[in-house]
Amino acid sequence: MMYNGQAVSLKSLESGLVELVFDLQGESVNKLNNLTLNELSEVVAQLAVDKDIKGLLITSAKPAFIVGADITEFQDNFALSAEELKAWINKTHATFNTLESLPYPTVAAVNGMALGGGFELALSADFRVLAADARVGLPEVNLGICPGWGGTVRLSRLIGTEAALQWMMTGKPQNASNALKLGAVDGVAGSTELRAAAIAMLQAAVAGDVDFAHNRERKQQPLVDSVALLDMQEKLAKKLDSNYPAAGEILNAVCTHATLPMADALAVEVEAFVTLAQSDAAQSLVGLFMNDQLLKKKSKTLCKQADAVEKSAVLGAGIMGGGVAYQSASTGTPILMKDIREEALDLGLKTASTLLDRKIDKGRMDAAGKAVVMDAITPTLDYNEFGSVDLVVEAVVENPAIKAAVLADVEGAVSETAVLASNTSTISIDTLAESVARPEQFCGMHFFNPVHLMPLVEVIRGSKTSDNTIARTVAYATAMGKTPIVVNDCPGFLVNRILFPYFNAFNRLLIDGVDFQRIDGVMETFGWPMGPAYLADVVGIDTLVHADHVMQEGFPERMGHDSDVIAEALLAADCLGQKNGKGFYEYGVDESGRRFKEPAGQARELIAERTKQRIDISDQEIIDRMMIPMCLESVRCLEDSIVETAAEVDMGLILGLGFPRFRGGALRYIDTIGLQVFADKAAVNAENGLLYALTEGFKARLKDNRTFY
């Protein structure tokens, strides 16, 4: 063994060949953390001076080649000064450049995945051979940054700027056949033949049968300047979202360095990386990655403790029940779907069938696969087969009395070990638990609509819910492909509790004469996928009013209204939103068959009748009045221990509400603008009620200069 570290080793093969093996000890995957990079630097320095070596093979001892840099170390590195950050990047550049300039050929045998820095390392080799099932790519844009170790330069020179930009600006991993076709790799082999194929290519290069110097030059030669390059830059720039600056920086960097010598091109990339690494968007997006890892770790721990859910059931075959049935069956857990009406069961089955047909249309499933999923959904009008069910999701109408009756009925039909879970969005789990004999085996399981698209599931713990019940429900949600967050019981739980102060603030702006279409535009520019008026229509005005009453009852001092409620006026006028085509907006189909959405005259009339004044307000003031109540309710949820961490608060909003990802969540948003700035904004708006009042906990945090992250 020529070198034997904790992450990399170097060993001799026959005929002057050596093998560099990545195998990070104590980890399931290889990643380029500081330990690995330091050891790699030592090995490459050794490789550069050993005159007996004729060729280098680079491999991984793990199921994947290298999944990228160690993102857990990013936040510390990104906090460095610009010069310190450049020095950190350039140290790795020096290692990769030395590897690339070794006086003999190098071949990377890529198995599994080579992403981000892992793929950049592979690009530093003269040749790349991929396993047929491998994936390569540069997904840094998803973290708000750009490739920083030569990826933007080497890839664009290998496959051309347009293809390279498509890879980098979308961040999507590429399969082996596409990578080979474009010239990003030099060969593809079956996973069992990968090593032999890579050694054969290395031997051919050593023998001179393949010109490794030519391959090296391909990555280093500047591209020819052209009008086409400028045209492409202009075309792609029109599609950019300024809230996510990484794609634009990647585009500008590549178009700037395409015609420059290698060293100058790498310097352009470094400048782009530093600019992005110190941006608010990168802080938020890297933070989201870390938050997601925390949720996965928590879920994994609970899943290990849980009894498996081999068979489930859903009560109610409506939109939610049908969605739950589809999601469970399509992810491998057979499910009973019960209703009291045959036509409801038919509708539930049709819902599942339609969703599966869409998968077939997109080429993601065939008819045989659809049949398997449909066979896993058993419609029923009775409880005869419920004795074999491990977990029941109650998804009947949002009425406490009806839910209580249904839960009491089904408890008598299931085994004593079965878990009962209510898909309620607002009703107290402790209140519903009064209707069951085994409250320790009862919890909330709040899915978001549409079930097949929304990733979040709130698993709500009642005061008597057992740890085993929570673990089993989390395991079921995870098996369904969802992201569960464990929430303690309170009105609205986590997401709706935080959402309704936002709607309350919206109502107050309407009463103050601010037009709802303008508010929607401002909040969409802020980053929301839809403004509050449009969101209200999508949710349903009747659903909105019902939930608002629950929140007022739960938190009367803070969430009560000091004036008319516009949503209630709309509901009284039979305006339900998208459900019946009229709400804040009117919905329909024009003569050409195109769907339209336009502000409803009736809504404007109803608002005008209730407007107390018409204030002069800036866009930023609209943002402040909308966001402060939401942010402060997020603070209260953390302080009230509704969830354990700031990460869970923010991920609930990202996954359940579509909170702007580049802002990272409500608590990350407070950190970003600064606690003092936020406190000053709240003070300016204090006259708008208790929704704008700082908590004592926030004041203490501000005094101690403690951020949420």
* pLDDT at residue 235, rounded to an integer: 86
Q: Is 446 a catalytic residue?
A: yes
* pLDDT at residue 528, rounded to an integer: 98
How many C-beta neighbours within 10 Å does residue 354 have? 11
pTM attached to this predicted model: 0.92
* pLDDT at residue 431, rounded to an integer: 95
CA distance 552 to 586: 28
* pLDDT at residue 228, rounded to an integer: 76
Q: In what order do the strands lie in the sheet with 377-380?
A: 377-380, 335-338, 312-315, 391-394, 419-422, 442-447, 456-461, 483-488
392 forms beta bridges with: 313, 420
CA distance 29 to 64: 7
Q: Note the Cα 128 to chain centre separation in Å.
A: 31
Residues 6+ apart with CB under 8 A from 226: none
CA distance 281 to 158: 30
CA distance 525 to 505: 18
Catalytic choice (446, 452, 546, 561): 446
Query: Which fold would CATH assign to domain 3-278?
Result: 2-enoyl-CoA Hydratase; Chain A, domain 1 (3.90.226)
Query: Which fold would CATH assign to domain 309-489?
Result: Rossmann fold (3.40.50)
Q: Domain boundaries in the chain?
A: 3-278, 309-489, 496-704
Continuous segment of H or E residues that includes residue 280: helix 280-305
* pLDDT at residue 437, rounded to an integer: 97
Q: Do 220 and 262 touch, CB atoms closer than 8 A?
A: yes
69 forms beta bridges with: 32
Amino acid at position 93, single letter: H
**What does each C-alpha distance from 320 to 347, 373, 472 come to in angstroms?**
11, 18, 21
Query: Does domain 496-704 bear CATH number 3.20.20.10?
Result: no
Q: What are the residue ranges in the chain where pLDDT is below 70?
A: 225-227
List, as one string, the DSSP characters of 320-388: HHHHHHHHHHHTT--EEEE-S-HHHHHHHHHHHHHHHHHHHHTTS--HHHHHHHHHTEEEESSSTTGGG
* pLDDT at residue 341, rounded to an integer: 94
**What does each C-alpha distance from 552 to 195, 426, 478 come to in angstroms?**
66, 12, 33
* pLDDT at residue 237, rounded to an integer: 87
Give me the long-range contacts of 615-622 (CB less than 8 A, separation at least 24). 615/512, 615/513, 615/514, 617/509, 617/512, 617/514, 619/522, 619/525, 622/509, 622/514, 622/518, 622/519, 622/522, 622/523
419 forms beta bridges with: 391
* pLDDT at residue 226, rounded to an integer: 67
For Cα atoms 564, 569, 571, give the angle at the middle one, nearest 5 degrees.
140
CA distance 444 to 456: 13
Task: Provide the b/e sequence for 632-646 (b: ≥16 CB within 10 Å).
Answer: bbbbbbbeeebbebb
Tokens of 538: 């999508």
* pLDDT at residue 532, rounded to an integer: 98
pLDDT tens-place string over residues 587-596: 988 888 888 8
Tokens of 465: 């819910």
* pLDDT at residue 562, rounded to an integer: 86
